[in-house]
Amino acid sequence: MRRKLLFLYIITLCFSTISFSQKAKIDSLKKELNHLTGDELIDAYFKIMWNSRDLSPDSTIIFGDKILELTKNKPDFKERATVLNLVGIAKRNKGLYTEAFENFKEAMLQADVSNNQIQKSYAYVNIGNLFFYEGDNYEALKNINEAQIIAKKTEDYILIGYTYQVLGNIQLARGKYELALEHYQTTLDYRLKSKHKQLIASAHQSIGEAYLQAGSPYEARAQFEKAKTIAIETDYESLIYTTEASIGETYFESSKDSLGIVLQHYGIAYKGFLKLEQLLKQAKILEKIARVYLVQNSISKSIEAANKGLEIAEKLPAIQEALLLSDVLIEAYNKREDVLNEAIALRKYIYYTRLYQDEEKMRKAQIIENNMVLAQKQEEINELNQQNSISKEKIVYREYALISILICVLLMGVIIYLVNQQKKRFKEFSQTLKIKTKEIQDQKFIIGEKVVQVLELNEKMTEKNNELKENLVQTKKIHEQLARSEKLAIVGQMMAVVAHEINNPLNFITNNIIPISDNLKEVDDMVKDIAIDNKEELQEDIEESILLLQGIDDGVKRIREISQDLKNAVKSNHGVPQPFNINDSISTTLNLLTKKYKYDGIDLQIELEETLPEIICLGGKISQVFINVIDNAFQVLKENDTLENKAIKISTKKLKVDRIGISISDNGGGIKDLDHLFEAFYTTKKEGLGLGLIISKDIVVQHKGSIDAFNNKDGGATFTIQLPLEGIKE
């Protein structure tokens, strides 16, 4: 007993220390109130409200009412909506749902008056939360969606994260664990952007809840521990107790051998919620404590905890908690074989099931109640049978007493006959009752199975519809890509024709440049020997013309190089494998792409092995792979505005196993999802269908090679391609 008291004292001391700084701040503000007036007094009241929001809901309500009273004739006071929202939250935490609802509606009106869109969104969220607590998920989702529309317009990370948090809570209550986890992860992302530690801790807590309900207690515990650590660092006392309860639940779900540890965590959480006067959380933790006692077969303690929690839940009212606590009481009284109290608890369970609009639970509860009624009827039948047995014994004794009187014997015979007839009729009635009862149970079971089958069929139909929609979208994308590929093929053919046809005029220009240049030189020599006016000017013009012809010749050579690069890039080898130079193909690709990205400040580091052997392949297709992968690297760096030194490194090497290795690296942001990189329609580019890499992979595999990707330690990503020397033969 002393050890338990010492343990409780240490726990109390720990949490007193945790909340000391926040309480000290509130006490300091209260001391200053007597020396403040006007706006300074209102500001002090507001600070006390904010710091009391978790520790003392009553203080939040009192000082909030004072602010509302002081500012009722101040139209320039812009924080009235904020104060109303805080007061409403405090009343909600005390279970005053009707009053809280009125505060939130008033907050919404005041937010419209002051054009405070953020507080209007918070009011929508708070109203949605109220509907969620009362079990009306439809109204809850409707209000949260309104809040999210406003939040995204304001670009307030904290507010957007809050809306996703409540959406996750609603989906979690519906059993949609993956969807809830997705909402909670989005919440964490926005809160990390806001750098608000207490909200980050709350997001970790929610992610843990999703993992726990999905049946992953170890992953859940890791999230709860993160939330608890941040909560202690920031003096977030309410969340500290919540994480204690959640950690205890992970031990309960993972091993029934740790019930002592579970009760320790639940005990700390319950004492904390008592101190903070958070009634809803008190009801929740009492339900968990009652279930642990039930597992330990401590029936009296389980009933005591469940009744205490049910009393709180009924006062709030908190329908979901009342439903769970009633369920615990049914099981506890059943173990104790207390039929009367079990029936009372069952009626409460049925009542709250109706309120919660859960037809499946209602059906199960009704079956249980019918079974109990039948059991009571069976007991009555047994009592009647017992009474009949007693009457039979009395009749036997009476026969022995009156055996000497013949008239009495005959009379007794008549009586016995009547009793036997009555007993026979009673047995027939009892047998009929049992048959009818069994038929009713069978019919209910069949109806239940049909309901389940209909629900499953509806779910399958929904899944099939979603699959058809997804297939339709993918089919449209494939058609778009095919059309695009067909256009590109036509453009490639046209480019090859243009590149070929342009050579004739280029040859004509080149052939004319040389004689013109020679003629100008001869004219220059003649002018030197002739005495004419403006001789020097004429010689300068001739020299300038010769230089211009050299410039034209250089331009023609450049056009010829570009033409050759285009022909190399689009040629397909007509489907016949031929010797192919990897280094030349990469150089041609870079000649084309560097012109496209020449103003983006991207540094190229080229390390091509000079003695690289040629490979037997379809050169046009391998060139297409290089264009896809290298162009992706250029685009990633072009879209990265935060990187100062952008660089791409390309290298080739002859490997030992008669293969050529190609490496293409960049120092961009890396690849977010490596697992889906080579899947159809997966893309991270602003524009694109996500088919380039899967086509590239098909080409490499066709050549019996391999293509892989990984993220670099120092940032960026690397693609590696290996091709055999003879991947495809004629």
608 band by pLDDT with thresholds 50, 70 and 90: very high
SS3 content of the chain, % helix, strand, coil (to 5): 75, 5, 15
pLDDT tens per residue, range 567-576: 665 554 456 7
Neighbours of 76 (CB within 10 A): 6
CA distance 496 to 567: 5
Going edge to edge, which strands form the sheet with 646-654? 602-608, 646-654, 659-666, 717-724, 706-711
Looking only at the bridges linking them, the beta strands covering 615-617 and 646-654 are unpaired
For residue 557, give the amino acid letter.
K
d(CA 3, CA 642): 59
Stretch among 285-299, 418-432, 654-668, 699-713 having the lowest mean pLDDT: 418-432
Instruction: Return d(Cα 41, Cα 28) in angstroms, integer.
Output: 14
Greater model confidence, 547 or 371: 547
For every residue of 200-225, which 3-state class applies, written as one string? HHHHHHHHHHHHHHCCCHHHHHHHHH
Distance set, CA 565 to CA 296, 577, 584 (Å): 81, 20, 10
Least confident of 9-18, 235-244, 254-263, 646-655: 9-18
Residue 565: pLDDT band with limits 50, 70, 90: low
What pLDDT sits at residue 497? 59
Lowest mean pLDDT among 21-25, 209-213, 563-567: 21-25
The count of other CB atoms within 10 Å of the CB of residue 302 is 25
Instruction: Residue count of the chain, please give it.
Output: 730
Q: Quick one: pLDDT at residue 488?
A: 53
Q: Read off the pLDDT of residues 632-659 as tens digits, 9 standing for 90 and up.
A: 899 888 888 888 889 999 999 998 778 9
CA distance 332 to 334: 5
Neighbours of 243 (CB within 10 A): 29
| Ramachandran angles phi, psi of 86, nearest 5° | -65, -45
Whether the CB-CB separation of 709 and 721 falls below 8 Å is answered with no
CA distance linking residue 83 with residue 89, whole number of Å: 10
Average pLDDT over residues 609-623: 88
- Average per-residue pLDDT in the chain? 77
Query: At residue 604, what are phi and psi to the nearest 5 degrees?
Result: -105, 130
Q: What is the pLDDT of residues 36-70, one digit of tens each?
A: 777 777 888 778 777 776 667 788 888 888 888 88
Q: Which of 15-19, 303-307, 535-539 has the highest mean pLDDT?
A: 303-307
Give the residue carrying structure tokens 């750098």: 195
What sign for the dihedral angle of Cα 617, 619, 624, 626? positive
Q: Among 127-131, 232-236, 497-501, 553-557, where is mean pLDDT lowest?
A: 497-501
- Report the pLDDT value the prediction gives residue 367, as an integer from 0 to 100: 45
Residue 320 phi/psi, 5° resolution?
-60, -45
> Is residue 609 within a helix (H) or strand (E), and if so which, with residue range?
none
For the CA atoms of 362, 366, 368, 373, what is the dihedral angle to 10 degrees? 160
pLDDT higher than 80, residue 24: no
Contact 134, 319 (CB under 8 A): yes
> Where is average pLDDT lowest: 317-321, 599-603, 634-638?
317-321
Check residue 651 and give its pLDDT: 95
Mean pLDDT of the 230-250 span: 90
- Local confidence band at 6 (pLDDT 50, 70, 90 cut-offs): very low
Q: Is the dihedral of CA 696, 698, 704, 708 positive or negative?
A: positive
pLDDT of 268 > 50? The answer is yes
Q: Is the pLDDT of residue 223 over 90?
A: yes
Confirm whether pTM is higher than 0.75.
no
Find the mean pLDDT for residues 444-472: 73
Which runs of consecutive H residues, i.e. helices, occur in 578-718? 582-596, 619-639, 692-702
Statement: residue 350 has pLDDT above 90: no
pLDDT per position as a tens digit, 353-378? 777 654 444 444 444 444 444 445 45
Q: In angstroms, what CA-CA distances link 178 with 187, 189, 201, 291?
A: 14, 17, 20, 26
Closest CA to 281 of 255, 250, 331, 244: 244
What is residue 9's predicted lDDT score, i.e. its pLDDT?
A: 29
Preceding omega of 505 cis (within 30 degrees of 0)? no
433 vs 614, residue with greater confidence: 614
The whole-number pLDDT of residue 706 equals: 93
Assess whether pLDDT exceeds 50 at residue 7: no
| pLDDT score of 385 | 55
Scored b (16 or more CB within 10 A) or e, 658-693 reads: ebbbbebbbbbbbbeeeeebeebebbeeeeeebbbb
Instruction: Tell me the CA end-to-end span of the chain in Å, nearest whole number.
Output: 89
Beta strand pairing status for 646-654 and 659-666?
antiparallel
The pLDDT value given to residue 397: 55
Instruction: Please compute Rg for the chain using Cα positions.
Output: 42
Give the integer Cα–Cα distance in Å for 369 and 371: 5
Exposure on the CB side of residue 520, measured as CA atoms within 13 A? 19
More confident residue, 533 or 222: 222
Task: Give the burial class of 195: count Cβ atoms within 10 A of its Cβ; 0-12 exposed, 13-18 middle, 19 or more buried.
Answer: exposed
Tens-digit pLDDT profile for residues 184-215: 999 899 889 988 888 899 889 889 988 988 88
Which residue, 301, 294, 356, 367, is CA-closest to 331? 294
Each residue of 653-676: pLDDT tens digit? 998 778 999 999 999 888 887 777
Q: What is the mean pLDDT of residues 489-518?
A: 67
Predicted local confidence at residue 718, as pLDDT: 94
Helix (H) or strand (E) holding 580: strand 578-580
What DSSP string describes 537-581?
HHHHHHHHHHHHHHHHHHHHHHHHHHHHHHHHHH--GGG--EEE-
| pLDDT band, residue 396 (cuts 50/70/90) | low
